[in-house]
Structure 1
Amino acid sequence: MDYQQIKAKLARRLTPKRLAHSVGVSETSAWLAEKYGADVREARLAGLVHDCAREMTSNTLLQLAEAFGIVVNDVERQEPVLLHAPVGAALAEREYGIRDPQILRAIALHTTGGADLTLLDKIVYLADFIEPHRDFPGVDKLRSLAGIDLDAAVLAAYDQTLQYIVSRRALLHPATVEGRNQLLIKLK
């Protein structure tokens, strides 16, 4: 399937708001890829498909994770919405014909981040955070930082995510903490 065919299929499965977000992530991923020397086609595609499982129910996500052999940790069991990323990667392969392991990995990690992120992983993670439809305090600062220093922007996105999760007294995903710590060590 090409980009337009995948977009048309997503339009039948996602709400208009989620599709607009996905297109925004796709375009932002392409911009970041061009700026930082990643494959623009891969970035556009990963950004488009990244939320293909986002509107599924918690029960469906848990069932699909089991069916796909995805190991579910305690945090994901309590917050199944976090599974939309790895389940989405599996669906991207099965339903959208995406075979590139780099694209699938970027989709799988776009919500939590994690250790040893590739350039494409960072791009999709950050694009999901700063795409044009996002509107939260500090997003403009993150957008500006994204145009200057990718790693610093990813670290700032981690920080903002963790602060938000802690303010809600919600569970922290270990991959997010690990990814932040690793990036912080790299930048020091």
Structure 2
Amino acid sequence: MITINEQIVTFRKQLKSKLDTMRYEHSVSVSYTCIALAMRYGFSLEKAELAGLLHDCAKRYTDNELIARSQKHGLSLTESELKAPAVIHAKYGAWMARNKFGIQDEEILSAIQCHTTGKPGMGILDKILYIADYIEPRRDKASNLARMRYLAFQDLDQTMYEILAGTINYLKGKGGCIDPMTIQTFTWFEKLIQEKCSAAEAKGE
């Protein structure tokens, strides 16, 4: 029976042959960042590594190819996704993870599917992958990276809230399309943070 380590090595070889060099390096870097966060929060290292490694497996395809392949395999696409197809690689990537790489674990598939927009009620692996994709060592564009890299190891929910807020403000500033799911996710975390603050105040913390 194949071990998880053997499976990961096989996946790396497959991804290296299909993705461009920087995308592959990014995927490996995200996988290790996921592992670090999983260590911090007591989550499965193997699941975290697999989610990070495979999260961009569909990035080998162009936007038009992603749309065509999603439709071919019966994946429903929203109007917003069709207007900003860059996010579709997450949905199709989850399909590939299940059908091409044999991943059956629903937590891993969920994390891959929501790593671009997030979703209300995100589980721990969903948050780990979303954040790892933002803070991995090869990222260098976002102005708040230093704070997010620190905060990620203190509080996943606060980190999600601040990354989402920054992302929405950035997209608004450049006139970009904001997927409604990103707005819904931000609103969910905003409410969660407010509830946490209220609970802490009630306890006198």
TM-score normalised per structure 2: 0.89
CA distance in 1, matches of 2:85, 2:47: 27
Cα RMSD of the aligned pairs, angstroms, is: 1.0
Shift of 1:45: 0.4
Q: Could you list the runs of 4 or more consecutive aligned residues of structure 1 that deviate by over 6 angstroms after TM superposition?
A: none
Is 1:176 the counterpart of 2:188? The answer is no
In structure 2, which of residues 147, 159, 171 is the aligned counterpart of residue 165 of structure 1?
A: 171
Q: Which has the higher contact order (CA 8 A, sep 6+)?
A: 1
Is 1:3 the counterpart of 2:13? The answer is no
CA distance in 1, matches of 2:189, 2:18: 35
Identity score, percent: 35
Is 1:103 the counterpart of 2:108? The answer is yes
Is 1:142 the counterpart of 2:154? The answer is no
In structure 2, which of residues 67, 77, 85 is the aligned counterpart of residue 80 of structure 1?
A: 85
Helix, strand or coil at the partner of 1:24? helix
In structure 2, which of residues 61, 67, 84 is the aligned counterpart of residue 62 of structure 1?
A: 67
CA distance in 1, matches of 2:92, 2:134: 19
CA distance in 2, matches of 1:155, 1:167: 18
CA distance in 1, matches of 2:36, 2:162: 19
Is 1:124 the counterpart of 2:125? The answer is no
Shift of 1:26: 0.3
Shift of 1:46: 0.3
- Could you tell me which amino acid in structure 2 is paired with residue 17 of structure 1? M
Q: How many residues align?
A: 188
Q: Which runs of 5+ in 1 are unaligned?
A: none
Larger Rg: 2
Helix, strand or coil at the partner of 1:134? coil
Shift of 1:68: 2.4
Shift of 1:50: 0.1
CA distance in 1, matches of 2:62, 2:95: 16
Shift of 1:55: 3.3
Shift of 1:67: 2.0
- Could you tell me which amino acid in structure 2 is paired with residue 159 of structure 1? A
